[in-house]
A and B are shown apart, each in its own frame.
Chain A
Amino acid sequence: MEIDLGTQMNFDYSETQQMVATSAKEFAEQNIRPHVMKWDESQEFPIEVFKKAGEMGFMGVLVPEEYGGSGLGYHEYIAIIEEIAKVDPSIGLSLAAHNSLCTNHILTFGNEEQKRKWLPKLATAEWIGAWGLTEHNTGSDAGGMNTTAVKDGDDWIINGAKNFITHGKSGDIAVVIVRTGEKGDSHGMTAFAIEMGTPGFSSGKKEDKLGMRASETAELVFDNCRVPDANRLGEVGDGFVQAMKVLDGGRISIGALSLGIAKGAYEAALKYSKERVQFGKPISSFQGISFKLADMATEIEASELLLHKAAFLKNTNRKVTTIGAMGKMYASEVCVKVANDAVQIHGGYGYTKDFPVEKFYRDSKLCTIGEGTTEIQKLVISRNILK
């Protein structure tokens, strides 16, 4: 039967999208896979991999070609993060933070001069980007931040510290949101791009983490740091609103990261279940295992659909807040559950470092926390559906 394409929704990757995904997969197999456990154990941030990712065009996925980027959309972006995360979630996390937080903030809210100055460096990985909203005492309640910028002539003087910042030590530039008005006022914050080496700007303690250990997380410290007004991104007072918009896209990132982790853990469990023989049969022939696999496969499929719907809305410049939050929340909860079940299917071996699932299990937990906890996603979703 001939089907009128006008009555269809297209769920296929295009040839280009397929090629992008294959390139990311091959890149990860060649440049990441052999070193995963070494980087995890030593908590080493492998900067040379990001330089290579820059040559591939993975560090400025969404940046238009005129600024040195790859000029791709969110479907390709999901494919790249997912393929990298399947091999090493911590590299996926760093790519996500670089692309969708720092770089995307400058791309979305920077003026032409700022974009020309910083985007080509970021998109090629000549520079690594960081982004700072969270502080020691203000995580979900970001509006209560204590880091301040005070106008002094043509400059701003910044004091305070940002916490849990990806690339807080190795980053070459950080976009930070600081308070320029009253505490709690959503229009009392402003965003600045601050280059490493600016006097008064330094890195603090690097966190020792449960998972995502090859992705560097550190503190940014500002001690009378003088930043020219030319480094201000957008208008005074717009910083918080900008951050929320950046996080709308960032949720797709963390969703893609979650999807990659879930697929990596599921594929390992599927393979193991067919190879591991107990009571004379592969364990995949027992319903206790096969039903788990069925649930995992279904939930992964649902995550993927939700995320690509969010990508579709984002690509077509429509409001993505609700679906993005749904995708992030759902995919991240699924990845924690899938990683947990993948360890369970592996039994004792799953608890050892000889199999990849213990790392997926540790890495997965970041996804329900970073860039807005599951609880905050529920807040966002419920506020929007009850409007």
Chain B
Amino acid sequence: MKILVCISHVPDTTSKINFTEGDTKFDTNGVQFVINPNDEFGLTRAMWFKEKQGANVTVVNVGGPETEPTLRKALAIGADEAIRVNAEATDGAFVAKQLAKVAQDGGYDLIIAGRESIDYNGGMVPGMLATLTDANFVNTCIGLEVEGNEATAVREIDGGKETIQTSLPLVIGGQKGLVEESDLRIPNMRGIMMARKKQLTIVEPADASNETKAVKFEKPAPKGAVKLVSPDNLDELVSLLHNEAKVI
């Protein structure tokens, strides 16, 4: 089985987020980048396919050279090869078209993308990618088994689960549940050294346009100071929660 895992290069969840150029651009200054968590669950699931059933795993990212450490980490975790589409990831449609080109050129049976990236949270790419590659699509995927050409996928639905029978080629929008947090892997020293020798191919972007443009970003209002209420003063607490915090 040939698996393509789409990897977004996103800020660490503990990063302080700021915008520049009149709140139109994300400020990457001093920000640590990681593999998008939804993608990391998918990558780990791909490793299980590789180890238990045999699979060749390629990771792909659309981004500049600064995203290579993130791809290299995926190689250190155990992916066989990596592809970087040398273009800035501007909008969902653009990224999906780039990934579709890579997917078609490589002839993958299974494409694992994260449900959404935790930076811009667009959530558009997996669906578009499935359409562009004419593959089946399961979103919010929390469980996946593949036997031959048949796939059984479990989807999270509001308050429950749905099990879907489908066939390859398949695109999933994966998330936690594909594997658990405790299953995620830290690259070991051998993996890191081996990753240096694995192929990281840089491909130039396919001709594609953006369909959207971000014109402004706004941050949530900063957290206010903590108000302490004496345990004897329940009325004040209720009043504050009702009138000020407006949560009850």
Q: Do the two chains belong together in a single complex?
A: yes
**Chain A interfacial positions (CB closer than 8 Å to B):** 15-16, 18-20, 22-23, 26-27, 30, 55-58, 61, 65, 70-72, 76
Chain A contact residues: over half helix, strand or loop, or mixed? Answer: helix
Closest CB in chain A relative to B142 CB, distance in Å: 23
**B contact residues, range:** 10 to 19
Cβ contacts B67-79/A at 8 Å (1 or 0 each): 0110011001000
Q: In the complex the two chains form, is A71's CB within 8 Å of B192's CB?
A: no
- Residues in A whose Cβ lies below 8 Å from that of B196: 16
Closest CB in chain B relative to A70 CB, distance in Å: 4
Report which of B69, B76, B187, B189 forms a contact with A58, defined as CB distance below 8 A. Answer: B189
Q: In the complex the two chains form, is A20's CB within 8 Å of B68's CB?
A: no
The residue of chain A having its C-beta at the shortest distance from the C-beta of B196 within the complex is: A16
Cβ contacts B187-214/A at 8 Å (1 or 0 each): 1111011011000000000000000000
Chain B contact residues: over half helix, strand or loop, or mixed? Answer: helix
Q: Tell me if B215 is interfacial: C-beta within 8 Å of chain A.
A: no
Report which of B186, B188, B192 forms a contact with A16, defined as CB distance below 8 A. Answer: B192
Cα distance A58–B189 when bound, in Å? 8
**Chain B interfacial positions (CB closer than 8 Å to A):** 68-69, 72-73, 76, 186-190, 192-193, 195-196
Report which of B68, B69, B73, B190 forms a contact with A70, defined as CB distance below 8 A. Answer: B190
Cα distance A55–B189 when bound, in Å? 9
The residue of chain A having its C-beta at the shortest distance from the C-beta of B192 within the complex is: A19
Query: Given contacts A19-B72, A19-B76, are A27 and B189 in contact (CB under 8 A)?
Result: no
Closest CB in chain A relative to B138 CB, distance in Å: 30
Closest CB in chain A relative to B173 CB, distance in Å: 26
- Residues in A whose Cβ lies below 8 Å from that of B189: 20, 23, 56-58, 61, 70, 72, 76
Query: Given contacts A15-B72, A18-B69, are A23 and B193 in contact (CB under 8 A)?
Result: no
Q: In the complex the two chains form, is B186's CB within 8 Å of A19's CB?
A: no
Q: In the complex the two chains form, is B192's CB within 8 Å of A30's CB?
A: no
Cα distance A58–B191 when bound, in Å? 13
Q: Can you pick out 20 interface pairs between chain A and chain B where the beta carbons lie within 8 Å of each other? A: A15-B68, A15-B69, A19-B73, A19-B192, A22-B73, A23-B187, A23-B188, A23-B192, A26-B186, A30-B186, A56-B188, A56-B189, A57-B189, A57-B190, A65-B193, A70-B189, A70-B190, A71-B193, A72-B193, A76-B189
Using A20-B189, A26-B186, A55-B188 as known contacts, list a sample of 13 further A-B pairs with CB atoms less than 8 Å apart, ordered by residue number in A.
A15-B69, A15-B72, A16-B193, A19-B69, A19-B72, A19-B187, A19-B195, A22-B73, A57-B188, A57-B189, A58-B189, A65-B193, A70-B189
- Residues in A whose Cβ lies below 8 Å from that of B68: 15
Cα distance A56–B193 when bound, in Å? 12
Interface centre among A16, A65, A76 (most CB of B within 10 A): A16
Cα distance A362–B196 when bound, in Å? 40
Closest CB in chain A relative to B14 CB, distance in Å: 11
Closest CB in chain A relative to B113 CB, distance in Å: 24
The residue of chain B having its C-beta at the shortest distance from the C-beta of A29 within the complex is: B186
- Residues in B whose Cβ lies below 8 Å from that of A71: 193
Report which of B69, B76, B186 forms a contact with A27, defined as CB distance below 8 A. Answer: B186
- Residues in B whose Cβ lies below 8 Å from that of A18: 69
Closest CB in chain A relative to B236 CB, distance in Å: 23
Cα distance A175–B190 when bound, in Å? 27
Interface centre among B73, B76, B186, B189 (most CB of A within 10 A): B189
The residue of chain A having its C-beta at the shortest distance from the C-beta of B190 within the complex is: A57
List 8 tightest A-B contacts by C-beta distance, closest first.
Answer: A57-B189, A70-B189, A56-B188, A26-B186, A57-B188, A23-B186, A19-B192, A23-B187
Closest CB in chain B relative to A320 CB, distance in Å: 23
The residue of chain B having its C-beta at the shortest distance from the C-beta of A26 within the complex is: B186
- Residues in B whose Cβ lies below 8 Å from that of A65: 190, 193
Cα distance A287–B193 when bound, in Å? 46
Closest CB in chain A relative to B194 CB, distance in Å: 10
Cα distance A20–B188 when bound, in Å? 8
Closest CB in chain B relative to A277 CB, distance in Å: 9
Cα distance A15–B193 when bound, in Å? 11
Closest CB in chain B relative to A276 CB, distance in Å: 14
- Residues in B whose Cβ lies below 8 Å from that of A30: 186
Cα distance A26–B35 when bound, in Å? 14
- Residues in B whose Cβ lies below 8 Å from that of A58: 189
